[in-house]
Amino acid sequence: MEKTDKPCAAYGAGEMLENIKDLKGRYQFLHSLVDEVSDPIVVIGTDFKVKFANKAARAFSAEFVWHDGAEPYCHNLIYNSKCQCSTLGRPCPLIEVVETNKSVVVEHDIELSGGESCSIEVHASPLWDVNGCFLGIVESLRDITERKAYARILEDGHNELERQVANRTRDLLRSNDILKNEIVGRQRIEKILRSERDKFQIMVEAMGQGVHIINDKYIIEYQNEVLRHLFGDKIGHTCYDVYKNRTEPCEVCKMHKAIETGMIQQNEESLRDGRMYLQSYAPFKDIDGDKKCLIVLSDITEQKAYQAETMLTGQLASIGELAAGVAHEINNPINGIINFSQILLDDSTDAASSEIMQRIIAEGERVATIVSNLLAFARQGNGGEESCHEVDVRQVMNDSIALLHHQYKKDGIVFSVSGPVDLPTVWVNPQQLQQVFVNLLSNSRYALNKKFPNRHPEKRLEVTFGEAEVGNRNFVRVRVTDFGCGIPAEILDSVRNPFFSTKEPGEGTGLGLSISDGIIKELKGSLRIKSELGSYTTVVIDIPRFDRGKGSAK
């Protein structure tokens, strides 16, 4: 059916009112859902007047007071302005949709009443009736001020993560104005309802977010393709089984709280696939009168990882400043102790006193070495190519072991380092490589202490160096093997996911292996994990060897 941009003729008021009431009764749950969406959604007619606005849209302007039945101009409601956008040099979504006959996305900078400004992203789509008549547009507004600010922060501080910053923008539920369409007879109404249901399903699929509808018995009644791909066909299963692999409901159920309070509930949680999701629970009453809940799952794993890395960068910067000051305060007296001890040693004629002075000098130099290693570890670079240089992998591992040597000795961990001494060098950021090694050594310490709480002859940690050729490329290989508790086979593929941790709550962030894996991949290397539950865990790291003649990794 050919579409036209001319508005359709109106039918009789009585007939239209009866049809609208019928539609409202049959689509109450969809109307309630759209009204509870946190982003403003409006329907704008060809006369630039707002025909429908959800709760968020009606409260969008602090200066404008919405009156039921009113049809304000769109620029009056959204921008609190008496002039159309086009007269002020701003792009007008309605005009652009009419000219292009397709959906458009525009950004506007709005000055708030307090003098502050914010950036708004407007998604505008054409709205047609069943006869192909152009009725106007559907707009959804999203405040992207924080997103743009966060993108600028990431761009300034993490150039290597720029390709991941551009998160996909997700369309929310587009409102439709089917309640105001012409309706002739029940058969035609049902046809329109079926058509709108199909559109709603397509809209949900296009959002890229997982959607479930669950009844008050925890049974999944609907799932979209996103969740079908993620969990399989789970209609008829319970949500606690699908999400958490549990046999009974969760102790704190957000779904039931949403149904009981009638308010949208949100929760951030890691599900059985090891990824972090923002869960939004929107209650509604179905056409049969039963109370149900629509659950929207948004994968925020990367977003949370970016936030955590940003915080980690700030913490490391603070640690670096603190370590520099502490190193200065410690090095001065340590140098004094070493120098005075050397003077006493030079003047001493007593063998016992000389031995004591030598021990004091040796211990003082050990303290100075520990402080130097701590300062080097805390002084993290920006991770870019400019911070990389030729590095001896074995020396970086020795520095990492020195940081944990005292803890190993206290825990009774027996460690050994083997392999050739004259290994090829690699082209890396030494601080980042040390961060990887320290994380692996700390994980091994945790696994050994969990299996052997006390001293034991099998409480062993082995570090082995070597070379390897993979796919006609030469690598320096590092193996870190602990004979601790091991990792269950069913979660071995998940341990590198952000926020996935086998440690007790409060003992790990779940980011160590994820960050380490990312660092090694940036070096065009690989990190592999082999483990047997209750027996051992081996982490194999391959880093491209440095070709001094070419000035790059071979």
> Side chain identity at 410, as an amino acid letter?
K
What is the pLDDT at residue 483?
A: 94
Give all strands (DSSP E) within 65-187, no chain letters. 104-111, 117-128, 134-143
Q: How much is the CA Rg of the chain, to the nearest whole Å?
A: 32
What is the pLDDT at residue 172?
A: 46
C-alpha 267: how far from its chain's center?
A: 14
Cβ partners under 8 Å of residue 82, min gap 6 = 75, 76
What is d(CA 551, CA 554) in angstroms, rounded to the nearest whole number? 9
Rounded to whole angstroms, what are the CA distances from 493 to 164, 244, 347, 441? 22, 18, 63, 20
What is the pLDDT at residue 337?
A: 83
What is the pLDDT at residue 452?
A: 92
Rounded to whole angstroms, what are the CA distances from 21 to 28, 118, 180? 10, 39, 10
What is d(CA 161, CA 383) in angstroms, rounded to the nearest whole number? 11
pTM of the shown model:
0.41
Which structural domains are found in the chain, ordered by start?
13-184 (3.30.450.20), 210-299 (3.30.450.20), 301-380 (1.10.287), 385-554 (3.30.565.10)
What is the pLDDT at residue 114?
A: 65
What is d(CA 55, CA 402) in angstroms, rounded to the nearest whole number? 60
* Helix or strand run (H / E) with residue 133: none
* Helix or strand run (H / E) with residue 62: none
Rounded to whole angstroms, what are the CA distances from 180 to 103, 267, 453? 21, 36, 71
Rounded-to-10 torsion of CA 290, 256, 141, 120: 180
Residue reference for tokens 């704190």: 252
What is the pLDDT at residue 221?
A: 84
Mean pLDDT by 10 residues, the chain (554 residues): 46 50 57 77 85 78 59 77 77 86 84 72 86 85 80 70 51 50 59 64 66 84 78 84 81 82 81 73 81 82 70 62 68 78 79 80 73 60 63 88 84 90 88 86 90 90 92 91 88 70 60 79 90 92 81 53
What is the pLDDT at residue 96?
A: 87
Residue 148 near residue 167 (C-beta atoms within 8 A) = no
> Side chain identity at 163, as an amino acid letter?
R
